[in-house]
Amino acid sequence: MSLFNTSYLLGNDTVGGWGTRYFFTFYSEFGDEKTESVVETTVLMAIFTASVVTNVSIAWAVLRYREMRTVTNCFLLNLTVADLLFAATTPALAYVRIMSSWPYGDFVCRLFPYSQLVCGFVLLWTLTLISMDRYRCIVVPPYRSRLTPRRAAVLTMFTWLIALAVYMPVPFWFHEQAVQDGTINVCTLVFPKYDTFKLSIVFTVSVVLLSGVLPLSLFIFYYQRIFHKLNKTRRRIEHSAMHHVTAMSQNSLSPHNDGAVPQPQVLIRHEELRYKKHVRVVRVLLINVIAVLVMWLPITVVVCLIYVDGSRATEDTDFFLRSHHFIMGLLLALINTVVNPILYGVMSENFRKCFARLWFISKRRRALDRELLDNISKGGGRTPSNGHCNSMLQPGSSASVVELPVAAIASTSSANGCW
């Protein structure tokens, strides 16, 4: 079997007790496809840059403005941390794709996949916590979250601890392995060998159930109940509106009509606004969940196929997987670290206004400050060109380009408010 057409290389396992066998190279690619490697590396670095910029913007908005520190945004902040840690492996991965042989040593080989799996687990379960919180806000009376930002932070901390515990065996099973008579080192996974049962099956099934099937089932349950409730609310609003129009037409014919707005109309309008707010929030979160599931499904399937391919006998070399299949699945998962913050930023009005305030008002404020200092140094004592001197330094001043939705956010920034 040629070295240049496979990602399974022959080596001697002295750790797991398997002896001479073929090892899947995971991150390394051997061959003469230099152009493909350059393109692949360029894409990886572009994803890394976009992920850092977008996720840091989300985190900055939540941490910068106190009004944005709601329960849901605390969960979103946890998502940005998981996305950033997951994306942090990208430069090292890009370098391996060019160098082929694993250059970082045994410790990094153990830490590299462990961090990726933990971040994926945290991402899925954080979205599950968000769906649970949305369920209480929309479906369960009195339609209020029982969480506070502090409790949400504690839950996210437990999510990280559980993920670290679930994948604890991974650093012991991944290691640097010499192949091709010791001429090449690769980072690969080797399950310990037991004669009584297959540890690989037990671990793989448990992890898939806990980190895949269970959160997916909860997504389906909670969002089905949420959309059922929203659909009932929409029908009730439409029925109330039709009834109100009929009542108004009859009231307009009454000689005692004084032109005042009836109380039922105010209640209908309030419920309609609340319904639209929930629809906007749920739309963002649902699209985010679908994107996560779609983009993480390929890497899950590839890992299962790697297990099937690796269960062949040593003399059977008809492997159908290559390491670039694994990298393509991992690439989609990395793209998800960019999609998540873009969804929040583009589809959330509060985040859009925060970004505008962070990016554009800050620039204008610095320009005004520089102009003021220049005028003072020249002794002119003139005010900046817009006629305001220190107004930009005051929150919510009349010189602000974009104001945060104070009234809207303040109502949701209480300890147990719903975003």
Residues 310-368 pLDDT 10s: 677 667 777 778 888 888 888 998 998 898 888 876 677 777 777 777 766 655 665 65
Q: How far apart are CA 98 and CA 38, in angstroms?
A: 7
**CB–CB of 9/180 below 8 Å?**
yes
Residues 6+ apart with CB under 8 A from 414: none
Specify the DSSP element, H or E, that contains 250. helix 214-252
pTM: 0.75
31 pLDDT band, cuts 50/70/90, is low
- Residue 111: its pLDDT value, please? 94
Write the DSSP string, 59-88: HHHHHH-GGG--HHHHHHHHHHHHHHHHHT
Comparing C-alpha atoms, which of 375, 408, 409 is closest to residue 389? 375
For the chain, report the end-to-end CA distance as a whole number of angstroms.
Answer: 58
Q: How far apart are CA 352 and CA 68, in angstroms?
A: 12
410 pLDDT band, cuts 50/70/90, is very low
In the chain, the domains with their CATH numbers are: 3-251+261-347 (1.20.1070.10)
Q: How far apart are CA 195 and CA 192, in angstroms?
A: 10
Write the DSSP string, 163-223: HHHHTTTHHHHEEEEEETTTTEEEEEE-PPP-SSS-HHHHHHHHHHIIIIIHHHHHHHHHH
Overall average pLDDT of the 159-177 stretch = 93
**CB–CB of 259/232 below 8 Å?**
no
Buried b (16+ CB within 10 A) or exposed e, 343-369: bbbebbebbebbbebbeebeeebeebe
Statement: residue 415 has pLDDT above 50: no
- Residue 158: its pLDDT value, please? 94
- Residue 157: its pLDDT value, please? 93
Statement: residue 253 has pLDDT above 60: no
